[in-house]
Amino acid sequence: MDLLNSVLKEVLQDDNLDQLSEKTKIDRDSISDAVKDGMPAILEGLNQNTNKKTGAEALLSALSQHSGSLLDDVKKGDLSGLDLGDGAKIISHIFGSGKEDVADEISKDANLTKGQSSNLLSALAPIVMSALSKEKEENDLDADGLSSLTTTLIGSFLGNGDGSSKLGSIFSLISKLLT
């Protein structure tokens, strides 16, 4: 299961980074490292939430509002349909009142402002949801299957040594906020 690595690799393509940089107002040279922190942070938040039955059921319901089609756009290098407003709502659902703390932790590692980190999380959240929606549909996953999927994806990502050295502190913060 290297879904996260696969999606991350697509997002890190030049065309996508250029568009993310423009949408989030993050310098093109800084955005790559921020994406490497932001995407796993979102998935870890979802993982923590799906460790509870109600969280897994809420994610299952939320995925019905997202299709995997955004992934096709990402693969084409077209993020014009990316909705930061929708992404901000997703981030609020995932992290609740801790969303600012998560954005702050990511901003420290990537040398961004908290606002830039918040914008980036809002841009990445629909992409993560699209990827999970596609996996859910292709594998006919229920709430328990989603919980297993998020746990496996995080384990696979960390096992590959991907991400920044700061991910440990980001994940620790998320764990404290969501447990």
pLDDT (0 to 100) of residue 164? 55
pLDDT (0 to 100) of residue 1? 46
User: Where along the chain do its domains lie?
Assistant: 3-178
pLDDT (0 to 100) of residue 63? 92
4 and 157 Cβ atoms separated by less than 8 Å: yes
User: What pTM was estimated for this model as a whole?
Assistant: 0.92
Rounded to whole angstroms, what are the CA distances from 10 to 40, 46, 100, 112, 166? 14, 21, 27, 22, 22
pLDDT (0 to 100) of residue 65? 85
* Residues of the chain under the 50 pLDDT cut: 1
Q: Where are the alpha helices (DSSP H) in 64-139?
A: 69-76, 84-95, 99-110, 114-139
d(C-alpha 114, C-alpha 105), whole Å: 8
